Structure 1
Amino acid sequence: MGAYLFKRLVSLIPILFGISVLVFTILHLVPGDPASIMLGTNATEESIAALRKSMGLDEPLITQYLTWVGGLLQGDFGVSVHSGEEILPQIIKRFGITLQLTVFAVVIGWLVAIPFGIISAIRAHSKTDIAVRVATLLGISVPNFAIGTLLLLVTSLYFNWFPPIDVVSFWENPLEAFKVFVLPAATMGIVVAAGVMRMTRSAFLETMDKDFIRTARAKGNSKWTVVMGHAFRNSSIPIVTIAGMQIGYLLGGSVIVEQLFSIPGLGQYVLEAIYQRDYPVVQGGVLFVALVFVLVNLLIDLIYTWIDPRIKY
């Protein structure tokens, strides 16, 4: 296990290197000059040139890239060209908010998806199964912004309630944090539930046809014992796989939801940086999300060995 973990961590180096090159290249191909945007339309050529020089934008791209990577290796993500703040503390702060939103959304999604997915599988082709499958298709098909807008309209028009604007940590005030995150988490959780529910149903349908399930039934075990004691763990690997991928996607793809509900998370931070052509913030934010994504996938691989002891690394 230790050797496998070491190899996986070493393999992160070329992955992150490739992502850094890709992000850096794409950003510098985007039209627009950060210096011109910061100084406005009335800026002179001399002032723009001076600002570009102070930010190092007049250097060749390879020099800018090496300077940026050199700082990353020392734990320095650079400074925002728009606000002048250090980027890493802001990323960590904003990521904490996004992480709370993601965890809340995943909990909501799993609490809905796994029970209904199991019920749908053990009652295959029934009216309940059809209803679950239709709900799954709707959850997958309807985009996040439409779900979030609908939730906002329903809660404001029919219940006269609006979520608070000021974000509060769950550690500081759980009740206020719940009020802040419940609607955006539900918006993201619906998408999570749809994917996990679909995978849960598929995995259970496949597992329930296995010989060991028929043997467990022949021994006189109750239906609950067969489903939860035998089928659940053997169906968990594909469920955990899709759930792990969704956690990674939610951490990096919460931009729309954070913008819709005015949550100052990492997604909104990077989006604002894109508008402002704040290259260091975008580069650092995307690279940080990529690192978290690959670490989540590594964690999922390690969970496999706990679910199924036959899996060895």
Structure 2
Amino acid sequence: MGKYILKRLFSLIPIIIGISIIVFLIIHLVPGDPASIILGNNATPEAIKALNAKLGLDKPLIVQYFDWVVHLIQGNFGTSVQTDQSVLPTLINKFLVTFQLTLLSVLIGWIIAIPLGILSAVKANSVVDFILRIISMLGISIPNFAIGTLLLLILSVYFGWYPPIDYVNFWDDPISALKIFILPAITMGIVLSAGIMRMTRTSFIETLNKDFIRTARAKGNPEGTVIVGHGLRNSMIPIITIGGMQIGYLLGGAVIVEQLFSIPGIGQYILNGIYHRDFPVVQGGVLFISLIFVFVNLIVDIIYCWIDPRIKY
């Protein structure tokens, strides 16, 4: 296990380098002069020149990249043009907000998805299975912002309840934080559960047709033991794969949901950076999200190895 993890860590080095190059080029190949866009139409040539010098945009592209990488290694993701604050500490603070929302969303999503996916597999091709498949298809098809808007509409019009607007840290006031997070978490949890439920059903049906399941039943094991004890663990690899990808996307910031429910997470922070043409925030934020996604996939690979020791690098 330790050797496997070490090799996977070393394999991340070229991936991270490639991501940094792609992020850098995408941001710098966007049409228009960033300094002119940031300062607006009334900017003087002197102001544009000064901002270009401050951002290092007056240097050759290759020099800009290596300067940026050196600063990244030193933990410097740049300084926001809009707020004049360091980007990395702000990204970390915003990420902690998104992390709390993601954790609750994943908890809701998996609590819904795994039991219903198993039930759909056990009752394959029955009326129950047909209904659950329709529900999962609707969950995948309807965008999360539409689900969130519908929930807001129903709760506000028919029940007179509105989610709090002012953000409260979970560690300071768990009850108030839960009131803020519960609706967006349900919104994202529903979408998350739909994909996992379908994958659970598919994986479980395949597992239930294996020889070791028939052997376990032939030995007289209770059906619950066969399904949970023998079937669940052997079905988890594809479920964890899709779950890990979805968690990576959520940790990267559910931009529309955060904006809809006024959650000050990393998605909303980067979106505001795009609105205000805050070049360092957008560049640092996109790289930060990419690194999160890479490390989430690393954790998923390590879980693979724990679930099935036969998996080798």
Same fold (TM over 0.5): yes
Greater displacement, 75-84 / 135-144: 75-84
- In the alignment, what sits opposite 1:229? 229
Matched, 1:135 2:132: no
* Residue matched to 2:214: 214
Q: Name the counterpart of 2:76.
A: 76
In structure 2, C-alpha distance between the alignment counterparts of 1:235 and 1:93, rounded to whole Å = 36
In the alignment, the residues of structure 2 paired with residue 55 and residue 124 of structure 1 have an alpha-carbon distance, to the nearest angstrom, of: 59
Post-superposition offset of 1:312: 4.2
Aligned to 1:239: 239
Please say if residues 204 and 232 of structure 1, whose CA atoms lie closer than 8 Å, have aligned partners that are also in contact: yes
CA distance in 1, matches of 2:5, 2:229: 30
Q: TM-score, normalised by structure 2?
A: 0.95
CA distance in 1, matches of 2:26, 2:33: 14
**Larger CA deviation: 14-23 vs 40-49:** 40-49
Deviation at 1:137, TM superposition (A): 0.6
Alpha-carbon shift at residue 74 of structure 1 (Å): 1.2
Instruction: Give aligned-pair identity as a percent.
Output: 65
Q: Which residue of 1 aligns with 2:49?
A: 49
Query: Cα deviations across residues 71-92 of structure 1 (Å, max 9, x unaligned)?
Result: 0011111111221100110010
Q: 1:85 to 1:146 in 2, by over 3 A?
A: same
Letter in 2 for 1:200: T
- What are the Cα deviations for residues 17-60 of structure 1, in whole angstroms up to 9, with x where unaligned? 11111111111222343433443332222222223223322222
Count of aligned pairs between the two proteins: 313
Report the Cα offset of residue 154 of structure 1: 1.0
1:157 deviates by: 0.8
The structural deviation recorded for 1:69 is 0.8
Cα distance between partner residues in 2 of 1:297 and 1:51: 38
Which residue matches 1:107? 107
Gaps of 5+ in 2: none
Please list the CA deviations of residues 164-200 of structure 1 after superposition, one character each: whole Å capped at 9, or x if unmatched: 1122222221111111111111111111100110011
Q: Are residues 46 and 161 of structure 1, via their aligned partners in 2, closer, same or farther at CA, if it must alter by over 3 Å?
A: same
Q: Deviations over 1:94-131 (max 9, x none)?
A: 00001111111111000000000011111111111111
Q: What RMSD over aligned residues (CA atoms) do the two structures have, in Å?
A: 1.5
The separation in 1 between residues aligned to 2:50 and 2:231, in whole angstroms, is 67
Report what 1:4 is aligned to.
Answer: 4
Q: Which moved more, 1:53-62 or 1:279-288?
A: 53-62
2:192 is aligned to 192
Deviation at 1:138, TM superposition (A): 0.6
Secondary structure in 2 matching 1:62? helix
Q: TM-score, normalised by structure 1?
A: 0.95
- Structure 1 gaps of 5+ residues are none
